[in-house]
Amino acid sequence: MPPPPWHFYILSWAGAAWFAAMAADYLMLRYGLGPYLAAVSEAREGFVVLMPDWVAFSWAVAIWSGALGAVTFLFRTGFGPLLFGISLVAMVVAGIGMTLFSRPTLQTAVGWEGAGLSLLTIPVVLVLWLYARHLHKERVVD
């Protein structure tokens, strides 16, 4: 296996940090950790509580498969591209559900800026998936 390019560690650690932040946000919102919820608007808290089960499920799959993908990619295993792909699909499903089928919608709960930031996760995961696939094809990761 050839050594990874210099940018591998930068993107790997950035992806791991990104998903660590998303996992922390997920846990604190879903399980109502007090200090975090004090900083969150009631609309956002209500949004999380009232979202349809299939949206909540796809959100969870997106977060945890992406986090696991980031860790496995960092260790240069071949599961990173697969897990990032699963995360990407689940993120798209969750994004559609949050913006079109949740009541209140994502835009209503956090505004257009917050919705844009939330939906920014889709292109981030897309880039990570494409990068991981490229390195897998180049045999840099198993």
With a CB cutoff of 8 Å and minimum separation 6, the contacts of 39 are none
Q: Domain tally for the chain?
A: 1
User: Does any domain span residue 1?
Assistant: no
In a domain, 67, yes or no: yes
Confidence label for 50 from pLDDT (cuts 50, 70 and 90) = confident
62 pLDDT band, cuts 50/70/90, is very high
- Residue 74 inside a domain? The answer is yes
pTM to 2 decimals? 0.89
Q: Are 81 and 132 in contact (CB under 8 A)?
A: yes
Residues 132-141 pLDDT 10s: 999 999 998 8
CA angle, residues 105, 26, 21, in degrees to nearest 5:
115
Average pLDDT over residues 124-137: 94
Residue 142 domain flag: no
Residue 31 domain boundaries: 6-137
Banded pLDDT at 39 (limits 50, 70, 90): confident
Please determine, for residue 4, whether its predicted confidence score (pLDDT) is greater than 80: yes
| Residue 142 pLDDT greater than 90, yes or no | no
Q: Using 50, 70 and 90 to split pLDDT, how confident is the model at 29?
A: confident
The reported pLDDT for the residue numbered 116 is 79
**With b meaning 16 or more CB within 10 Å and e meaning fewer, what string describes 44-56?**
beebbeebeeebb
CA distance 141 to 132: 8
Give residues with Cβ within 8 angstroms of 62, minimum separation 6: 87, 88, 90, 91, 93, 94, 121, 125
- Give the pLDDT confidence score for residue 120 in this predicted structure: 86
DSSP letters of 17-86? HHHHHHHHHHHHHHTT-HHHHHTS-HHHHHHHHHS-HHHHHHHHHHHHHHHHHHHHHHTT-THHHHHHHH
Q: Which of 45-49, 60-64, 72-76 has the highest mean pLDDT?
A: 60-64
